[in-house]
Amino acid sequence: MKDWLLRIGHHVSVRLYDGRAFSGFLLDISGEILEVREAEPGDWNSLGGEHIHFSFPEIRAAFDNSLEEQIV
């Protein structure tokens, strides 16, 4: 697993096996829990995005190749 702490504040895009996807800014990592605020790239100041929490074990179980990400 890559060093996720270096990605805090970066935009990540995640796609699930079933085709669902979300993208947003990685806000925090607390233990095994990651928090992402849904937003388009460059929309860092918007407070309107939903906050999504998921864990490293959930990533391994649900995502293709752990996580597909894009840092913008």
CATH code for the domain of 48: 2.30.30
Instruction: Give the separation between CA 56 and CA 31, rounded to whole angstroms.
Output: 9
pTM of the complete model: 0.64
**What total of structural domains would you count in the chain?**
1
Q: Which tokens in the block code for residue 27?
A: 């806000």
Give the SS3 label for residue 60: helix
Residue 69 covered by a domain:
no
What residue numbers bound the domain in which 21 lies? 4-62
Residue 67 covered by a domain:
no
Residue 33 covered by a domain:
yes
**Along the 72 residues of the chain, how does pLDDT read in single tens digits?**
457 777 788 887 766 555 566 778 888 888 888 888 888 777 766 667 888 887 776 665 544 433 444 444
Residue 26 covered by a domain:
yes
Residue 44 covered by a domain:
yes
Nearest one of 57, 52, 48, 56 to 23, comparing CA atoms? 52
